[in-house]
């Protein structure tokens, strides 16, 4: 067997084994989560309030809290992010402003999430006086999601063939009309996919909401934006670190983790399905 064939086989085997290791890790992870948390799952677990110092009952308020936080975050970050991306791809003047923006976006994208938490606390909780609340947490998460949405939307817009833009302008459309009537509709599926993935990410963040929104226990569901909320990821953290009855609380933590995992998997799955159906239907 000659040298080239040999090195080809070696390379392929190496890559294959890497893949195998990754897959095995993932499998172990999933199996462990499942085995530890599955026992706790039941309809009651999903829909009832926690009881008895968190040793029994369900995670309903945490689910509601995560839902509200995520919704608020997306409501703020999506429009902001999309319009920023549109501006960056189509107007982008003056040059110095563009450069500053890009630095800002890239920095934000790489910032550790705990720093978002501190920032949120300093600005929303303290400076703006919102206190630990849904609104503080939502806004903090919005800033977290912003760079991802901007980059994703920009990429989606750049992926639209330039011929469409040329054709639209050549027919006498203004740049704004071109964006609204041709480019955005064409980019929308990809923008949407990115948004959905952001949802998954935002739902699972702990550090940003630690000091800004989340509480370990609330007797009732949040009544307004000024209320503090429970959230799934924080719930896990709290149960594992501050729980007083680890015997019953650790399984609940695993159960919560499983729920969060399933949520993320569901969202990612939805995004993948949407993306592949776009690819199939794509006509250009």
**Which CB, 168 or 256, lies closer to another protein?**
168
Listed residue (127, 190, 125, 181) closest to 153, CA to CA: 190
| 68/248 Cα distance (integer angstroms) | 28
Closest CB 171 distance from another protein, rounded Å: 4
**Which CB, 2 or 163, lies closer to another protein?**
163
**Which CB, 84 or 178, lies closer to another protein?**
178
**Which CB, 3 or 163, lies closer to another protein?**
163
Closest CB 170 distance from another protein, rounded Å: 4
**Which CB, 160 or 258, lies closer to another protein?**
160
Annotate 231-274 with three-state secondary structure. CHHHHHHHHHHHCCCHHHHHHHHHHHHHHHHHHHHHHHHHHHHH
**Which CB, 114 or 171, lies closer to another protein?**
171
Closest CB 48 distance from another protein, rounded Å: 48
Residues that bind another protein (CB under 8 A): 161, 163-164, 166-174, 177, 181-182, 186, 283-284
Closest CB 155 distance from another protein, rounded Å: 18
* CA angle (43, 215, 140) in 5-degree steps: 105
Q: Which residue has the tokens 């071109």?
A: 178
Closest CB 83 distance from another protein, rounded Å: 21
Closest CB 279 distance from another protein, rounded Å: 14
The residues near 204 (Cβ < 8 Å, ≥ 6 apart) are 232, 233, 260, 264
56-57 vs 50-51, strand pairing mode: antiparallel
Tokens of 238: 């709290």
The residues near 109 (Cβ < 8 Å, ≥ 6 apart) are 147, 148, 151
Tokens of 117: 């938490």
């Amino acid at each position: 067997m000659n040298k080239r064939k040999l090195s080809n086989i070696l390379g392929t085997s190496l890559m294959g084994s890497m893949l195998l290791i990754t897959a095995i890790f993932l499998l172990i992870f999933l199996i462990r989560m499942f085995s530890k948390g599955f026992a706790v799952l039941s309809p009651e677990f999903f829909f009832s309030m926690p009881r008895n110092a968190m040793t029994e009952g369900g995670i309903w308020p945490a689910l509601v809290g995560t839902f509200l936080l995520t919704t608020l975050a997306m409501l703020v970050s999506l429009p902001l992010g999309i319009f920023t991306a549109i501006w960056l791809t189509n107007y982008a003047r003056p040059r110095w402003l563009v450069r500053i923006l890009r630095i800002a976006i890239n920095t934000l994208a790489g910032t550790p999430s705990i720093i978002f938490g501190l920032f949120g606390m300093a600005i929303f909780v303290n400076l703006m006086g919102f206190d630990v609340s849904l609104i503080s947490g939502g806004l903090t998460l919005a800033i977290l999601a912003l760079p991802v949405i901007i980059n994703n939307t920009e990429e989606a817009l750049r992926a639209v063939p330039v011929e469409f833009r040329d054709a639209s302008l050549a027919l006498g459309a203004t740049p704004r009309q071109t964006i609204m009537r041709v480019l955005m509709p064409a980019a929308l599926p990809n923008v949407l996919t990115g948004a959905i993935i952001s949802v998954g990410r935002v739902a699972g963040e702990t550090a940003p909401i630690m000091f800004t929104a989340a509480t370990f226990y609330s007797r009732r569901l949040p009544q307004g934006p000024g209320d503090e909320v429970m959230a799934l990821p924080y719930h896990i953290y709290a149960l594992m670190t501050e729980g007083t009855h680890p015997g019953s609380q650790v399984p609940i933590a695993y159960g919560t983790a499983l729920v969060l995992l399933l949520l993320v998997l569901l969202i990612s799955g939805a995004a993948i399905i949407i993306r592949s159906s776009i690819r199939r239907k794509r006509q250009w």
